Amino acid sequence: MAQPAPAAPPSPHHAAPADQPEPGVEPSIGWHVSHFFYRFDRAVLDSMTTKERSQAVVEAAAVLDPAAPAAPARLQTWLVAGQKADFAVLAMDPSPLAVEGLQQRLLAGPLGRPLVPTASFVSLTEVSEYLPSVEQFGERLVAEGLDPTSDAYAAKMRGYAAREPAMRQGRLEPELPAWPNACFYPMNKKRKVGENWFSLPFAERSRLMAEHAKSGMAFAGRVSQVITVAVGLDDWEWGVTLWARRPDYLKEIVYAMRFDEASARYAEFGPFYAGYVMPPAEIFRHCRVAAD
């Protein structure tokens, strides 16, 4: 009796199981985020005519316009202080192709000739696992000594329940503050003997992060932050982007939070990039790329 033919191997394009999303480049949760840093090659700029330089900055400014049709959902440019870069671009969008397309249009344009990429950071927005649910918030209040039958407890619970959805949405699709001072730095949590963050119980990590968050809350109205996750995507695990009403507030918040155990004992930091939020045309004028 003839044997049945063996089953054909599954096609690499077979449909996803019912409980799995279809393959795609957009994150299941959160947005793609990239920080790009550039400097100008002065020798190349000097080889361009005044007309070429003027046309180049006009086209580059159009590419970096947040209101442009192809612009990512969030787009901001900074003049960078110091010599690590001349300017930075921060872009966020559900699609990584929208973000990466921005940098390719910039580099493919006439200003791409004198542009030298100096650094980048690729990450995703996320809701931190340490942001408490309503139930966890209530447990924390009780642990702090608040009577769960008191009016004060009920009022705090109502208030947190009302703002918790917006807090989560704000972390996944953050608005970029218009405050003029900004900085960015990458960071890791240590994995050293005696200082391994990832070997700590969740309850202890949550306690340390609550202490850390409390320090940051003291700067509400003066400093705003977005923390993005780069685990599996870049050399560092998280990226911290800060905006401030005044530049000294950046110094103050970073200094104050360095004393928290989550930072002092368990954190490692990469290079800091500080700068000033500025439209691209103003950046190009400030950098003497084109005449006023």
* Contact call for residues 244 and 178 (beta carbons, < 8 A): no
Question: What is the predicted pLDDT for the residue at 56?
Answer: 96
In degrees, rounded to 5, the angle at the alpha carbon of residue 220 between the alpha carbons of residues 216 and 221 is 150
Question: What is the predicted pLDDT for the residue at 30?
Answer: 93
Of 20, 238, 246, 30, which is closest to residue 127 (Cα–Cα)?
30
More confident residue, 203 or 31: 31
Q: How many CB atoms lie within 10 A of CB 194?
A: 7
Q: What is the pLDDT of residues 43-53, one digit of tens each?
A: 999 999 999 99
Q: What is the pLDDT of residues 148-191, one digit of tens each?
A: 889 888 888 888 788 877 878 889 999 999 899 999 999 999 99
Question: What CA–CA distance (Å, rounded) separates 196 from 7?
Answer: 48
Mean of pLDDT over the chain: 90
DSSP assignment string, 25-90: SS-SSS-EEEEEEEEE-HHHHHHS-HHHHHHHHHHHHHHT-TTSTT--SEEEEEEEPSSS-SEEEE
- Percent helix / strand / coil, the chain, rounded to 5: 35, 25, 40
Question: What is the predicted pLDDT for the residue at 107?
Answer: 97
Chain-centre distance for alpha carbon 189: 17
More confident residue, 147 or 284: 284
Please determine, for residue 83, whether its predicted confidence score (pLDDT) is greater than 80.
yes
* Percentage of residues of the chain with pLDDT beyond 90: 70
Q: What average pLDDT does the segment 142-153 reach? A: 85
Please determine, for residue 40, whether its predicted confidence score (pLDDT) is greater than 60.
yes
Q: Number of C-alpha atoms within 13 angstroms, CB side, residue 63?
A: 22
Of 286, 276, 287, 279, which is closest to residue 61 (Cα–Cα)?
279
Its pTM stands at: 0.86
Set out the domains of the chain in order of their start, with CATH numbers: 32-125 (3.30.70.1030)
Alpha helices in 116-150 (DSSP H): 134-143
Active site (catalytic) residues: 185
Question: What is the predicted pLDDT for the residue at 170?
Answer: 86
Q: What average pLDDT does the segment 218-242 reach? A: 96
Question: What is the predicted pLDDT for the residue at 291?
Answer: 64
Question: What is the predicted pLDDT for the residue at 2?
Answer: 54
Q: How many CB atoms lie within 10 A of CB 145?
A: 6
Token couple for 43: 């020798």
Q: What average pLDDT does the segment 13-24 reach? A: 70
* Contact call for residues 136 and 142 (beta carbons, < 8 A): no
Helices (H) and strands (E) in the chain, counts: 9, 11
Question: What is the predicted pLDDT for the residue at 8?
Answer: 55
Handedness of CA 251, 117, 125, 173 (dihedral sign): positive
Read off the pLDDT band of 194 (50, 70, 90): confident
Read off the pLDDT band of 102 (50, 70, 90): very high
